[in-house]
Amino acid sequence: MVGVTTVVVIQPDWTRTLLTPLRALAWCAYLYFVLISVLAVAGVAFVFFAGLGSGLLMATLVGIPLLALVVMSGRAWNRLYRSLARLIGVTIDAPPPFVRPPGRLHTLAATMTDAVGWRSLGFLALHALLMTPIGYVVLVGAAVSAVSVVSPVVWLATGEPFMSLGEPVDSLGPYLLLSAGGVVALYSLGWVMLASAAPTHGWPAPCSARPSASGGSSCWSRLARLSSTIRSAPCAVLSVTCTTAPRPS
């Protein structure tokens, strides 16, 4: 018997992973992040004014129907967020439809106790609470970083200092440093937005989420395959032992 040991060294393609935030497939995740950040601000305003108006008018005949309308609006927010999730290749199952019982009083009572509407409003409030500061910091940081990246070109074109580091910057060297720092910051913020848009790291949805039926053709599933090596070891060593028997003479 002859023992043969083969050692195979596999090195992952780190270049492919590092370029993930720069690929075209990542832009759908960036668009998703921007849209849900804007919706977070809209959600804050809606929850505040709808809750305030319903509370102040609760003692009147208008307050109860208004609260019922607010609860039912949760289903509209639910549909909106489910449609946005398709940007990153995620399909969220639709909740059970609202069944309207006969009679106005029964309909009003069923609307006030609609569990889907209340859960969706709870999700909206939680999402607004979390994404408003996160979205503000990330988007403002991205804007400042983008301005820093183009600052050398702007300074060379205008000849006027337009950025300050304690005092106005009026030489090319600091602008080049600001530009390099802006590139690093944009790259880092790209990973932050990708992590926020990832189905495995996203916010708690009002109903269960499942991958898109299109599978590999979805934007996020293709993006996830590009970054899958981030979970692998830097270097994998495989040891394979083969045993062969000599041929009979």
**Look-up: residue for tokens 């398709």?**
86
Alpha-carbon distances of 3 from 9, 118, 239, 244, 249, rounded to whole Å: 20, 68, 13, 7, 20
pLDDT tens per residue, range 71-89: 999 999 999 999 998 888 8
Q: What are the residues facing 9 on neighbouring strands?
A: 237
Range of lowest pLDDT (41-50, 156-165, 203-212): 203-212
Tell me whether residue 177 is in a domain.
yes
Residues 6+ apart with CB under 8 A from 243: 1, 2, 3, 4
Residue 3 binned pLDDT confidence (cut-offs 50, 70, 90): low
Question: What six digits make up the tokens of 24?
Answer: 């075209």
Residues with Cβ < 8 Å from 186, sequence gap 6 or more?
142, 145, 146, 149
CA angle 57, 60, 64 (to 5 degrees): 70
Sign, Cα dihedral of 92, 200, 195, 16: negative
Strands 2-10 and 90-92: unpaired
Beta bridge partners of 5: 241
pTM tops 0.75:
no
Taking a C-beta distance cutoff of 8 angstroms, is the pair 246, 2 a contact?
yes
Domain count, the chain: 1
Q: Per-residue pLDDT averaged across 15-32, rounded?
A: 85
Instruction: Kindly tell me if the per-residue pLDDT of 167 is higher than 50.
Output: yes
Grouping H, G, I as helix, E, B as strand and the rest as coil, residue 2 is strand
pLDDT confidence of 218, banded at 50, 70, 90? very low
| Interatomic CA distance for residues 65 and 43, integer angstroms | 21
pLDDT value for 35 = 93
Report how far residue 73's alpha carbon sits from residue 58's, in angstroms, rounded to the nearest whole number: 18
Q: Is residue 125 part of a domain?
A: yes
Domain residues for the domain of 237 are 2-244
Burial 215-243, CB ≥16 within 10 A → b, else e: eeebbbbebbebbebeeeeeeeeeeeeee
> Which range, 86-100, 102-116, 182-196, 234-248, is most confident?
182-196
Is the residue at 226 inside a domain? Answer: yes
- Kindly state whether residue 127 falls inside one of the protein's structural domains: yes
Contact 177, 165 (CB under 8 A): no
The structure tokens listed for 76 are 């509209």
Report if residue 249 sits inside a domain.
Answer: no
Collapsing DSSP to helix, strand or coil, 89 comes out as coil
Beta strand residue intervals within the chain, DSSP E:
2-10, 90-92, 209-211, 236-244
